Amino acid sequence: MKRKLLTALVSATMVMSLMAGCGSTDTNDAAETAEPAAEAEETTSEEASDDSAASGEKLVVGFAQIGQESGWRDAETASIQEYAAEHSDTVELNFADAQQKQENQIKAIKSFIEQDVDVIGLAPVVETGWDQVFAEAQDAGIPIILLDRTADVDESLYATFIGSDFIEEGKVAADNMATLIGGKGKIVEIEGTVGASAATDRKTGFDEQMAEKYPDIEIVASQTGDFTRAGGKEVMESFLKSNPDIVGVYCHNDDMALGAIEAIKEAGLKPGEDIKTVSVDGVHDIFEAMVNGEANCTVECNPLLGPLFFETAQQLKEGKTVDKWVKSVDGVFTSDVAADVIDSRKY
């Protein structure tokens, strides 16, 4: 009874409006390449709902989101909130928007602990600095699910990580860049938020693959764009002034690539032709850029993790053991297929 009263009060103040941050989310059917993931979502959604209904008690989850840094992040938020809304008879979601600040996420986790939620979900804004608050959750008997980003803590402090293999994404991006520029030339790299696992691992995978397999390709500059479109544009403007002979740009997410494309055009060059682009995520806007010939390749990182997140949370509530890493299903898309799949993209 105490939990219900507390969570009811908190829900009234913390639930974020779904529609405000998701204007770029596409609601069409999934692309043919993403159909297996869509089918898995339907199955897991039903299983999680059935389990909750059978127990006669709602699954109470607290989720601390990074913020609204990109279209990809909006799509992930929408996936979580839409699932909770559609299953409100069995799921109660307490949602916190941290506005890209770790201190806000820590405050949210402490609040969830006080509310005595069943499970805490977190997309960590950075990797480090979580040990103490994670230990507090563990002492309270509340398991933590890391969603789409990892944390640099002892594995005993969290239950599972749900997301993509960021290092592999970087390697795939390197292979595609090498193909686009013919295995030689000078390129630049626009990194994500400093200290974020996605940025660290996408850089590691890309840089190591380039060094190992493509000795004639030189990464002449690398700088953070903080995963934002404005940041990507600003960094690319600087790169173009100091490196006029670059032939490619690798961006740790699509939003920074879209900003870089703006900078390339303003410099009087043709993005996608004069300077090849490879980025990560697979948001709808980058598909539009590929259709228009201004982008070349995106390595998908599926943000539609809501059903999988809640299924895993339900299993943890029931005391079941889950895998330490639950991998999402991703693909790779190039400009020659963009027009065929853009209308069926979900985000």
Q: For the segment 57-83, what is each residue's pLDDT rounded down to a tens digit?
A: 899 999 999 998 888 999 999 999 999
**Domain identity same for 59 and 106:** yes
Placement of tokens 């709602």 in the chain: 58
Q: What is the torsion angle, in degrees rounded to the nearest 10, for the CA atoms of residue 21, residue 347, residue 102 and residue 201?
A: -160
Could you tell me if 256 and 154 lie in one domain?
no
Whether residue 10 sits in one domain with residue 82: yes
Say if residue 19 is in the same domain as residue 141. yes
Pick out the chain residues at pLDDT < 70.
1-56
Cβ neighbours for 21, distance < 8 A, ≥ 6 positions apart: 68, 74, 77, 78
- How far CA 345 is from CA of 38, 180, 299, in Å, comes to 11, 24, 14
224 in any annotated domain: yes
**Residue 327 confidence (pLDDT):** 87
- Residue 68 is predicted with a pLDDT of 86
Report pLDDT digits (tens) over 288-307: 999 999 999 999 999 999 99
Residue 151 and residue 58 share a domain: yes
Same domain assignment for residues 22 and 150? yes
Look up residue 315 and give its two tokens.
């299993």
In a domain, 48, yes or no: yes
Same domain, 152 and 251: no
Residues 114 and 243 in one domain: no
**56 in any annotated domain:** yes
Q: What is the pLDDT of residue 56?
A: 57
Same domain assignment for residues 20 and 145: yes
Using left for φ > 0, alpha for ψ between -120 and 50, and beta otherwise, residue 106 falls in alpha
Domain count, the chain: 2
- 336 within domain boundaries: no
Q: Are residues 46 and 152 in the same domain?
A: yes
Angle at 59 between CA 55 and CA 61, to 5 degrees: 165
- Is residue 216 in a domain? yes
Look up the domain containing 208 and give its range: 166-300
CB neighbour list of residue 100: distance below 8 Å, 6 or more residues apart: 66, 67, 69, 125, 193
Tally of residues, the chain: 347
d(CA 166, CA 160): 16
Residues forming a β-bridge with 137: none
Q: What is the CATH number of the domain that holds 65?
A: 3.40.50.2300
Q: For residue 195, is it within any domain?
A: yes
SS3 261: helix
Are 15 and 132 found together in one domain?
A: yes
Do 304 and 27 contact (CB within 8 A), yes or no?
A: no
Q: pLDDT value at position 41?
A: 38
pTM of the model: 0.77
Residue 346 lies in a domain: no
Domain boundary among the residues 281, 300, 319 is at 300
Residues 6+ away with beta carbon under 8 Å from 322:
159, 160, 312, 315, 316
Mention every residue, 6+ apart, whose C-beta is less than 8 A from residue 252. Answer: 189, 190, 191, 192, 198, 199, 202, 203, 225, 227, 279, 280
**Helical (H) or strand (E) element with 213:** helix 197-213
Same domain, 26 and 142: yes
Cα separation, 189 vs 248, whole angstroms: 9
- 72 within a domain of the structure (yes/no): yes
Greatest Cα pair distance, the chain, in angstroms, is 66
